[in-house]
Amino acid sequence: MYGGQNTYIPLKVNQSGVIAIIFASSVLLLPVLISNLLGGNDGSGWRFEMQKWVSENLVNSKSVIYVVLFALMVIAFAYFYNSISFDPVQQADQIRRQGGFIPGVRPGPQTERFLAKAVNRITLPGALFVATIAVMPYLILWIFNVQGFPFAGTTVLIAVGVGMELIRQIDGQLMMRNYEGFLK
């Protein structure tokens, strides 16, 4: 008689990482590119007004429109990245092929729906957290009226992510060489 084995499915709360922030900031810069291509530096006309509006609202990190659009786009791109990187059909098939199951959920389409629903539910807190971290420096700098601060939320997230990955790799190397580990 063999005993059962419990495992877990490693679903990430923040599957996209910093990629959602990079996509959002890139998309916010598209109107700047378009307004620059159209010209309008003569100081009058609709092109000049468009350039003025874009520079005041979509480039200025102290604009409410910029901060709200940036946060919403980070959340949207987190969901988008999650939808293209996690395939519930493949995951359900892999669970079935390995002889596993989710207790209380039938194999097949029910497992696919369960996984898709679970991933969508855990993506929201992760996306909100990433959006908050990305927008928080802008809000703090705005509240305290700081001019020309070079760091933003993206910088903080990248620095922390690189640091955590470095510690994870060092710990993996130590464990491979039969040491107790770095993080214990």
Give the pLDDT score at 179.
61
Query: In angstroms, rounded to a whole number, what is the distance separating the alpha carbons of residues 182 and 184?
Result: 6
113-148 pLDDT per residue, tens: 999 999 989 999 999 998 998 888 888 888 888 777
Q: What is the pLDDT of residue 14?
A: 81
Spatial CA neighbour of 80 closest among 23, 153, 158, 133: 23
